[in-house]
Structure 1
C-alpha cells in the first residue's frame, strides 16, 4: 500500500498524495564529470542524473583541485585564496559580487525574502566547498597527472576576482588555462546559487541535469535565470514569476504556471505550508517528496501546474459575515484559550476542464469544510500584521461596530467572506490549521493576524492594514 505524505505543523498534520523515496535516485550518474575532451585535453561536465546542491558542489571540486595541481608551486594545493574569491562572488555586495542585491535595499517583500535567501545559500555553498576540498578525495582518485591535463574553453562574460586571486591565477604558474578553469568554477557556483533562490528548503531540492552539446553543467539554466534576475533587479517580481523560474530549474517541462506545481521528483508549493502563518515566508517555495496527482489506471506521473480556483479573487463570489455577536474591546476572547480540533488537514486534488486545483480540507463539529489552497496562499501573501501608529483611539471612533464570529460560522458561508463595515474578531484557539483555512476563506483585503490578543497588540491592530473599511482580526 502506498504511504500518504504527512507534513507536521506543531502538533497538527497536513496529509496528502503519495510519499516518494528520492534518496535512491541521487548520485546515480551516467558517467564521470571528468572525461575526454577535444584533442588530448580532459574536459569537465556534469554527467546526466539527479542532483541536489551538495552533489553539484562535490563535482565542482574537481575543477578546483585541477587548478591547484596546475598552479603547483607556490600554491602547494592551498585553496584559500581561490575559495575566498568564490565567497566574494557569492556575496550580495562588494566589488566582485555576481548578484549585488545588498545596495539595492529592496523594499518589496518578495525581494527582501530572496535577498536573505541569497545570503544563506551563498554562505552554505562556500562552506561545503571548503569542507569537500579539505578532504582531497579528487586528488587521491585521479592523481596529479590526470588533473594536470584538464583544459577547456569557458564561455562566459567573466567573473571579477579579488586581488589575491588575480595574482594567483595569473601568476608565474597560472595564466589563461587556469583562468578558464576558474571562470567555469565560479560561474557554475553562481548558477547553482541563483537556481535555488526560490526554494526555502533549497538543500533538499532534487533536480535533473541532462547533458547538452551546447551547455556545460548548469548552463542550461542561463536563459531562465536571465529573465528571473531581470525581474528581481527591476523590482517587478511576482509570485507567479518565482514559480515559473522554479519550474525551469527542476526541468518540469511546464509552460504555464499557477501557485505551485508537481514534477516527476515531487511537489513544490509555497513555503508557508507546514509553518506558522505569522512568521512563514510569503513568496518562497518549498519542495515536498510527494506525488500529489497520479493517474491510477496507468500509474503515470505527469507534470501538473496547480491553478487558483479563481484566477481573479476580486471576481470570486462573496458572502457577508453579518453582525455576529456584538461586542467591544472589553469583551474580546481571553488570550491563551486553546482547543485541539481539528488536528488533521487534507489536501484534495480536483482535476477537471484541463486544470488542477487543490482543496484544503478540515473536519469541525462533525462537518467537512474546504477552501481553495491557492486562495489560502494568496490570503497569506496579502495578510497584515499589527503595526501601530499611535492613532488607535481615532481608529476605534471610526469603527464603532465590533463583532465576534465563530470559525464554523465563517466556514459555512459560500465564496469568500467579507462585510460592509466594522471590526470583526475571529478566535481560532491557537489552531494553526484553522488560521490557514481562514486565510483562504476571508476576502484578502484587510485581514490582520494577531499573536497574543493583548491590549497593546489589539491597539496596534486597529490601525493596521488599510486603516479604513471592514477589518477582520484573526486571533
Structure 2
C-alpha cells in the first residue's frame, strides 16, 4: 500500500492509501445534446466525474450554439458574451452575482472566501475564452446541429452588461438566445460558488448526476442557498463551510465535523501541509487519499471526522507548571536539544459513534499525538504579535516569564494551560512540532513569533485577549 504524503518544507505528513482518480474523470457514455420537442436539441451535462475545467469545456457548447444562432453580425466573436460572464462572476459591480466586496473588510472567513471567489472567477473566464477560441464544439457538432439548440432555462436572476443586452435581445437574438445564455451564466455561477471552499479547487473531482428536474449543476442550488445566506449574513463558521463542501461533493453525509472522506478522496482544512504562519484558516483542501480503509469491493466509505472534544471549553485541562524561570533580558532562542522529527502521521480511530484522527510524531524515541481537529482549532485561534493590549498589564506579566520544553508540554494529557504568567516554548523551527503544540495548548492567548527580537516581544506581550496566561511559540 502506497501511503499518501504531504511535504512541509523538509518534513512530511503521511497517512492512508493514495488513490489514482484520473481514470474516473469525465468518463461518461452520453452526449450533452439530446433530441427535444419539435426536433430541437436540448442540453444537459452528462453524468460523470468532473473537475472545474472539464465543466467549462462542457459549458462552451452552449456558448458556441449562441454564436452560431446569432449569425454573421456577431462574426463568431464571443467577446461581449464573455465580458458579461466576467461581470457576473466579479465580486462587485451592478451585475455581480455575489457582491462579496464589503464582507472582506471585517470578517476573517470573508477575507479568505472573497479572495477565493475572485481567483476562481477570473480563472473560469480565462478558461472560457481559451476553450472557445479552439472551436472544439463547432468541430464536434457542426453549425447545423448547434443551430437547433433550444430549451427553457428556469432562472431569472442574472443581469447583463448593456452590450450583452443589445446583442442578446437585438434583431438577431431574442428569447431563444436569452434562454441559452441565462443557463450558461447560471451554470458558471453555480460552478464558481461550489468551488469556493477549496484551496486547490482546480483539482477537486465531484460527481454530476443526471436529474429529470435539474440541468447540469442545478442540483447544488439548495446547499448553495444555505451557504450564501450564512456567508452574506456574516454567520459563517468553519463547520458550516465543511457542511457545504459535503453537499457539493455529494458525500451523503448529514453531520459535519472539521473534515470528511467521500468516495473520491479526503477533504481536510487547507492549513495541513502549510506553514502555520501563512496557512489558510477557513478553506479546505481535497486530497487523493483513502483515509479510512474500505473493502476491496467497496467505494471509499463516506465518513465525517469529529473533534475529540466537541466543546474545547469543557475539555479536561492541565497546568503546564512553572517551567524554568528566566529574565526578560536573558532570553535564548537556541531551541531544544532533541532528535528532530521529520515525519508526522495521521492515525484514525473509529468507534460506533464517530471517527477521529490523531496527529502523531516521535521525538527522542517517544511518541506524541494530539487530536487533529483540535490542532486546526488552535490554528484558527492563534494570535500574531500585534500592539492591541494594555502595556501596564504586559509589564506585570514580565515578572513571571518561564521556559518550557516542547516535549514536556506534549507529554501531558488534556489541553495544557496555566493560571498566569508568560510561558515560552521553542520549536527549533520544526513545523511539525509547532503544529503538534497548537493541538495541545488550550486555544487562548497563544501567540506565534517569527524571530523573538525585542520589538516583536513588545508586541507579543500585548497581543491576544489582554488577560490570563500567555504561551509564546517560536
TM-score scaled by length of structure 1: 0.97
Shift of 1:356: 0.2
Shift of 1:459: 1.0
Map of 1:20 onto structure 2:
19
Structure 2 runs not aligned, ≥5 long: none
Map of 2:90 onto structure 1:
91
Look up the SS of the partner of 1:443 in the other structure. Answer: coil
Say yes or no: does 1:46 pair with 2:61: no
Partners of 1:51 and 1:12 in 2: how far apart?
A: 32
Give the alignment of 1:349-364 within 5 angstroms. 349-364=348-363
Question: In 2, are the aligned partners of 1:294 and 1:300 still within 8 Å (CA)?
Answer: no
Question: In 1, are the aligned partners of 2:92 and 2:99 still within 8 Å (CA)?
Answer: yes
Partners of 1:105 and 1:306 in 2: how far apart?
A: 29
Look up the SS of the partner of 2:329 in the other structure. Answer: coil
Look up the SS of the partner of 2:2 in the other structure. Answer: coil
Partners of 1:163 and 1:337 in 2: how far apart?
A: 65
Partners of 1:394 and 1:373 in 2: how far apart?
A: 33
Map of 2:271 onto structure 1:
272
Shift of 1:431: 0.5
Shift of 1:138: 0.8
Map of 2:242 onto structure 1:
243
CA shift digits 1:232-283 (9 cap, x unpaired): 0000000110000000000000011000000000000000000000111000
Map of 2:3 onto structure 1:
4
Question: In 1, are the aligned partners of 2:335 and 2:426 still within 8 Å (CA)?
Answer: no
Partners of 1:180 and 1:279 in 2: how far apart?
A: 44
Shift of 1:397: 2.6
CA shift digits 1:112-162 (9 cap, x unpaired): 111111000000000000010011111111110000000000000231000
Question: In 2, are the aligned partners of 1:361 and 1:371 still within 8 Å (CA)?
Answer: yes
Question: In 1, are the aligned partners of 2:336 and 2:426 still within 8 Å (CA)?
Answer: no
Partners of 1:297 and 1:422 in 2: how far apart?
A: 54
Look up the SS of the partner of 2:92 in the other structure. Answer: coil
Say yes or no: does 1:471 pair with 2:470: yes
Map of 1:135 onto structure 2:
134
Map of 2:309 onto structure 1:
310
Partners of 2:294 and 2:136 in 1: how far apart?
A: 44
Give the alignment of 1:108-257 within 5 angstroms. 108-257=107-256
Question: In 2, are the aligned partners of 1:319 and 1:413 still within 8 Å (CA)?
Answer: yes
CA shift digits 1:410-469 (9 cap, x unpaired): 011111000000000000011111111100000001101111111111111111001121
Partners of 2:104 and 2:14 in 1: how far apart?
A: 39
Question: In 2, are the aligned partners of 1:339 and 1:431 still within 8 Å (CA)?
Answer: no
From the superposition, tell whether residues 106 and 347 of structure 1 become closer, same or farther in structure 2 (CA, over 3 Å).
same
Detail structure 1 runs of 4+ shifted over 3 Å in the superposition: 103-106, 295-300, 335-340, 389-394
Look up the SS of the partner of 1:7 in the other structure. Answer: strand
CA shift digits 1:217-242 (9 cap, x unpaired): 00000000000000000000001100
Question: In 1, are the aligned partners of 2:316 and 2:415 still within 8 Å (CA)?
Answer: yes
Partners of 1:65 and 1:328 in 2: how far apart?
A: 72
Map of 1:376 onto structure 2:
375
Shift of 1:331: 2.2
From the superposition, tell whether residues 317 and 263 of structure 1 become closer, same or farther in structure 2 (CA, over 3 Å).
same
CA shift digits 1:20-40 (9 cap, x unpaired): 001111120131112222331
Partners of 2:371 and 2:197 in 1: how far apart?
A: 23
Map of 1:29 onto structure 2:
28
Structure 1 runs not aligned, ≥5 long: none
CA shift digits 1:155-205 (9 cap, x unpaired): 002310000000000111000000001000000000000000100100000
Q: CA RMSD in A?
A: 1.5
Look up the SS of the partner of 1:261 in the other structure. Answer: strand
Partners of 2:281 and 2:330 in 1: how far apart?
A: 32
Say yes or no: does 1:78 pair with 2:77: yes
Look up the SS of the partner of 1:83 in the other structure. Answer: helix
Partners of 2:375 and 2:444 in 1: how far apart?
A: 13
Moved more, 6-15 or 397-406: 397-406
Question: In 2, are the aligned partners of 1:68 and 1:75 still within 8 Å (CA)?
Answer: yes
Partners of 1:451 and 1:440 in 2: how far apart?
A: 19
Partners of 1:328 and 1:336 in 2: how far apart?
A: 16
Shift of 1:354: 2.1
Shift of 1:389: 4.2
From the superposition, tell whether residues 98 and 297 of structure 1 become closer, same or farther in structure 2 (CA, over 3 Å).
closer
Shift of 1:334: 2.6
Partners of 2:391 and 2:67 in 1: how far apart?
A: 65
Shift of 1:301: 2.5
Partners of 2:327 and 2:89 in 1: how far apart?
A: 53
Map of 1:55 onto structure 2:
54
Partners of 1:165 and 1:137 in 2: how far apart?
A: 23
Partners of 1:31 and 1:336 in 2: how far apart?
A: 61
